């Protein structure tokens, strides 16, 4: 998978993070043969794990440099969270679905990530009690940037999100 990402991704740190995160641990056992195919896969609860290229593009766009605190909106399976945790000092991840949050938290702990906090709540509200964040990543498309996220972005920070409809 990392080899195929090299066509689009130039940041070696991002590629190294992908090489360290076992994507098969973030999908159901019956989908593990497809874990490294560049496509979104179902994770239950009418949600998907994003295709690896999209995760890589968004991660590269953050321009993470080690000491950053990152807010991730949309934990999902925890895969993007793990990639971010390889590159950031602290990842605070918001998930609106309690069951997905619990599953992701268990996976991340099982893989030894100690620099990740997962919270259940509306990501559009951010995480004000631990703000500000050097970087904010929103996993799912929305029609506009939620204003609370602007207020939680540190001066000179970077916010990456897909804008527009779901298509």
Q: Which of the residues are catalytic?
A: 50
Q: What's 16's DSSP letter?
A: H
Q: Which residues contact 158 (CB under 8 A, 6 or more apart)?
A: 61, 62, 63, 134, 135, 136
Decide: 104 and 81 in contact? Cβ < 8 Å.
yes
- Phi, then psi, of 79 in degrees rounded to 5: -65, -55
- Kindly list the distances between the CA atom of residue 24 and the CA atoms of 18, 79, 115, 131, 157, in Å, as whole numbers in the listed order: 12, 9, 21, 32, 32
Write out the H or E segment, with its range, that includes residue 54.
Answer: helix 52-62
Q: Work out the widest C-alpha separation in the chain, in whole angstroms.
A: 44
Nearest-angstrom CA–CA distance, 85 and 119: 15
């Amino acid at each position: 998978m990392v080899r195929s990402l090299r066509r689009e991704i130039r940041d070696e740190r991002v590629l190294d993070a992908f090489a360290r995160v076992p994507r098969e641990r973030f999908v159901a056992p019956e989908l593990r043969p497809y874990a490294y195919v560049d496509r979104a896969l179902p994770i239950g609860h009418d949600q998907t794990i994003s295709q690896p290229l999209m995760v890589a593009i968004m991660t590269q766009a953050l321009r993470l440099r080690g000491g950053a605190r990152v807010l991730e909106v949309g934990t999902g399976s925890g895969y993007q969270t793990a990639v971010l945790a390889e590159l950031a000092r602290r990842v605070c991840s918001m998930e609106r679905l309690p069951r997905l949050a619990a599953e992701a938290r268990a996976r991340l702990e099982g893989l030894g990530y100690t620099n990740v906090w997962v919270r259940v709540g509306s990501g559009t509200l951010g995480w004000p009690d631990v703000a500000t964040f050097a970087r904010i990543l929103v996993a799912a498309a929305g029609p506009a940037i939620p204003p609370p996220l602007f207020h939680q972005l540190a001066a000179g920070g970077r916010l990456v999100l897909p804008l527009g409809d779901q298509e």
